[in-house]
Structure 1
């Protein structure tokens, strides 16, 4: 494998900074830029995804504009992109070829951006999008920027916010405690980790909720849905402010949704779509009885399947109201759980004293929903759902747009 072209430079830190420019632009493989220990901790695919997100947000990397070296083979590097200024803390190996041993994104500030430009890019996405940024206060949320905010769309795993809300409501009402222990008795397909755990493992409701939100653990969400009660989760939807809660009745478990989308019996999906609510409920036992081993997400070739029918639905305005309810009524435990996995780059998250997130994705569907407290103590929600029944959608592309919206909203308005 070839060494980086700049390996012989007199200034190894600047040389590696130049290699970062090449890497961000897709002109150098990760193995040429980062050392083996770094890539064991953060695999090439993961660091490549970060580079793609930065590129989507800021454009191509243009140049290294500053290098502030420290004495320990590290320093702060400033890289100019087409639309932003990226500040990185780099650490490099002491010995040639001085590959990068540590990298931290400290800031990614837009050169010049506007919410109008973000909206234009949102509207240009192929398919259908519902987007909103709202300011939260004592009264109803106030929209700051929006595109089709009242249009319900498939939201993927963002439905887990509704289960979290019912858990928080019940804990506040004294019907249950976060520390209550229940057996792990529902298994679903990944994502998450619980699908590999022993049946019957004791779990607190808090641990299940934390995994459901931070790892989007489908098995955890199904256990909670069963323990809390499907009807109770359905009943909380109007309380959260969903304008069309009937779209989510019956409220599907992930196992049931996967049985509709990925099961061998394709007639189940057709029957479910054609049925009224009572008919759909009558199908639930058959869906729940479908063995997980028979469910194959690749049966559809990775194409969007049932995203307009066998799903969970909400508009961006619904999700703004849901996050506002969690802020006001969810309590400290729910807010701490939402903040475990920020869903955005570190530099963006650090601009807010509080930063909570839940999203979801599957072929043809991606949602990102953020609840954040600004340094002026104002609260905002930024949320977007992007659906395309004809093709896959890009989490990185939407993530870049949401990063821009969050940074534009960070200082108040």
Structure 2
């Protein structure tokens, strides 16, 4: 016999009462931000009206065809979008959103106009995640990338980094601006030993190429060491890096490479400034000489050509095309080396250094909030990408997630590598 629903049972046993008109339920109107959030599922399903949904400034940067390619790629990978799984408003017009698909999720940062019709002015995919993802799935996707990949996730323990998962983690590879972690480490050492203070003021040195902002600052502008280090780490400012490195002294930075635990420091020594690296890449004769040199002759080459390298005209367009000697003129380390570098900074870095690394955590704000601490420094140029995360979980455990990918024949897909790395970071957060 079917049980009577409890609500009906209660009504049957209650005394008769005079019927009353139902009280209408008034639903509060959705905010403009929520309305745009709710429309994301349809948009990622391939629907929506590109002209009406996106502001002029967005459409100037992204075409309907580009948007269609991105959303189609997500559907190919994760199936159809189903629902909004999580929303974290970070302002009246800004939110971190997790969109649920059949087989995974996509994290996006959404920004809308503050005035009607509140069209979308920013929509950035900050990470993707398979449902029931594992480190083994992450490793398989890394191995499928063309070119050379090295990667590792490490629990940072009293005896040193312990591998959780590794993919070619002992292989030495180009790491781009990740070398700036060694410069930061030497700055930390000099401040801790009293040789210098973060408040020391120096003159801004010769301009290098972007990334950064300080190449546009007045020549010789007075800046503190903390300003230089902060710009170097947070926005990878090359002019700040070169000025700081020159102030600290190259020989001491070279020594720090071994101190932080790089297993084969001679492979990357002498540590080049960013200006030197660009100038050597731009000069065929110097490029050939450098790639054929050993450690002692590389040091001699820098000494003999010091004036030439300092005055060379640099063109940022040189990095718009194919990779330029990523296996020859670069900074080199393995994932294991970079895990030891991050661990050294964890153990010896002061509050200032820790704060610098946390300015740009390298992951979406919503993902960063899953950790007690998230620090980051990466590096990239045509054919090279490297990412290095220092993470402290909510239960107090420390991890390093570090990896690199490079090709000599073509550019690498920075977005694809960042997405895979973000999955590893998300697994650490769990």
Which TM-score bucket, shorter chain as reference?
0.7 to 0.9
In the TM superposition, 1:13-412 aligns within 5 A as 16-17=36-37, 19-21=39-41, 23-24=43-44, 32-35=52-55, 39=57, 44=61, 59=78, 62-64=81-83, 79-86=99-106, 97=117, 99-100=119-120, 110-261=130-281, 263=282, 265-285=283-303, 286=305, 289-290=308-309, 294-299=313-318, 302-411=321-430
- In structure 2, stretches of 5+ residues that fail to align are 1-29
SS of equivalent to 1:132: strand
Task: Decide whether aligned partners of structure 1 residues 229 and 64 sit closer, same or farther in structure 2, where only a CA change above 3 A counts.
Answer: same
Instruction: State whether residues 108 and 347 of structure 1, in contact with CA within 8 Å, keep that contact through their aligned partners in structure 2.
Output: no
Instruction: State whether residues 134 and 144 of structure 1, in contact with CA within 8 Å, keep that contact through their aligned partners in structure 2.
Output: yes
* Displacement after TM superposition at 1:174 (Å): 0.7
SS of equivalent to 2:205: coil
Q: Distance in 2 between matches of 1:234 and 1:32?
A: 55
Q: Distance in 2 between matches of 1:22 and 1:28?
A: 6
Instruction: State whether residues 135 and 379 of structure 1, in contact with CA within 8 Å, keep that contact through their aligned partners in structure 2.
Output: yes
1:122-166 CA distance string (max 9 Å, x none): 000101111000001222111001101111100000000000000
Task: Decide whether aligned partners of structure 1 residues 138 and 54 sit closer, same or farther in structure 2, where only a CA change above 3 A counts.
Answer: farther
* Displacement after TM superposition at 1:289 (Å): 2.2
Task: Decide whether aligned partners of structure 1 residues 74 and 165 sit closer, same or farther in structure 2, where only a CA change above 3 A counts.
Answer: closer
Q: Distance in 1 between matches of 2:240 and 2:362?
A: 19
Instruction: State whether residues 108 and 348 of structure 1, in contact with CA within 8 Å, keep that contact through their aligned partners in structure 2.
Output: no
* Displacement after TM superposition at 1:295 (Å): 2.7
Q: Distance in 1 between matches of 2:219 and 2:318?
A: 27
1:163-204 CA distance string (max 9 Å, x none): 000000111111111111000022101110000000110110
Deviates more, 1:393-402 or 1:343-352: 343-352
* Displacement after TM superposition at 1:294 (Å): 3.1
* Displacement after TM superposition at 1:392 (Å): 0.5
Q: Distance in 2 between matches of 1:67 and 1:136?
A: 31
Task: Decide whether aligned partners of structure 1 residues 16 and 267 sit closer, same or farther in structure 2, where only a CA change above 3 A counts.
Answer: same
Task: Decide whether aligned partners of structure 1 residues 298 and 377 sit closer, same or farther in structure 2, where only a CA change above 3 A counts.
Answer: same
* Displacement after TM superposition at 1:119 (Å): 0.3
Aligned length in residues: 394
Q: What TM-score comes out, normalization by structure 2 length? A: 0.81
Task: Decide whether aligned partners of structure 1 residues 151 and 332 sit closer, same or farther in structure 2, where only a CA change above 3 A counts.
Answer: same
Name the residue aligned to 1:6: none
* Displacement after TM superposition at 1:304 (Å): 1.0
Q: Distance in 1 between matches of 2:275 and 2:86?
A: 51
Q: Distance in 1 between matches of 2:306 and 2:74?
A: 39
* Displacement after TM superposition at 1:208 (Å): 0.2
Instruction: State whether residues 56 and 397 of structure 1, in contact with CA within 8 Å, keep that contact through their aligned partners in structure 2.
Output: no
Q: What TM-score comes out, normalization by structure 1 length? A: 0.84
Instruction: State whether residues 52 and 396 of structure 1, in contact with CA within 8 Å, keep that contact through their aligned partners in structure 2.
Output: no
Q: Distance in 2 between matches of 1:291 and 1:273?
A: 20
* Displacement after TM superposition at 1:89 (Å): 8.5
SS of equivalent to 1:141: strand
- In structure 1, stretches of 5+ residues that fail to align are 1-9
* Displacement after TM superposition at 1:121 (Å): 0.1
Q: Distance in 2 between matches of 1:257 and 1:76?
A: 38
Q: Distance in 2 between matches of 1:43 and 1:179?
A: 43
Q: Distance in 2 between matches of 1:383 and 1:337?
A: 18
Cα RMSD after superposing both structures: 3.7
Q: Distance in 1 between matches of 2:128 and 2:109?
A: 12
Q: Distance in 2 between matches of 1:76 and 1:221?
A: 32
